[in-house]
Amino acid sequence: MVMEEQKSLSFTLDPKSGVPYYKQVILQVEMAIADGRLTTGDQLPTVRSLAVDLKINPNTISRAYREMEIRGIVNTQQGTGTFISEKEIEISAVEREKILASLVRDFVIKANSYGIDMDQVIDYLQEMRDNEPLKA
């Protein structure tokens, strides 16, 4: 029997990383969406509560949320909250294959600049996937 690891959504900030706080928040939301911890309609923590949690200024959270709103990642309703928006992805398999190929090509070139080869990447990805929670 396997422990059903429940990867809950919790935000953390690394002050030393050099990455701005608001970007760290965005990245964490994006990753949570990518691996299924957040999906369409889910509510994000309120600006104020997350600010308290992370011990930073509410404006900084606000900025992160606003930026995601502009990008269409989340949907904000005054007085109600901020929610993961519906992603309307309607592309054919062919199209998707094309996009994937182009993304991979760019990525390989970039990884190559850092001396990272595909085996490492694949291993890393598999590890990531295997640490995912069972989706509902």
Query: Within 61-100, which residues bind DNA (CB under 7 A)?
Result: 62-63, 65-66, 69, 76-82
134 binds, among its own copies, DNA, none (CB under 5 to 8 A by kind): none
Does residue 92 bind its own copies (CB under 8 A)? no
| DSSP codes, the chain | --------------GGG-S-HHHHHHHHHHHHHHTTSS-TTPBPPPHHHHHHHHTS-HHHHHHHHHHHHHHTSEEEETTTEEEEPPP-----HHHHHHHHHHHHHHHHHHHHHTT--HHHHHHHHHHHHHTSPPP-
Q: Which of 3, 18, 55, 94 binds its own copies (CB under 8 A)?
A: 18
Does residue 121 bind its own copies (CB under 8 A)? yes
| Residues near its own copies (CB under 8 A) | 7-8, 10-12, 14, 18-20, 23, 27-28, 30-35, 37, 67, 70-71, 78, 87, 89, 91, 96, 99-101, 103-105, 107-122, 124-126, 128-129, 136
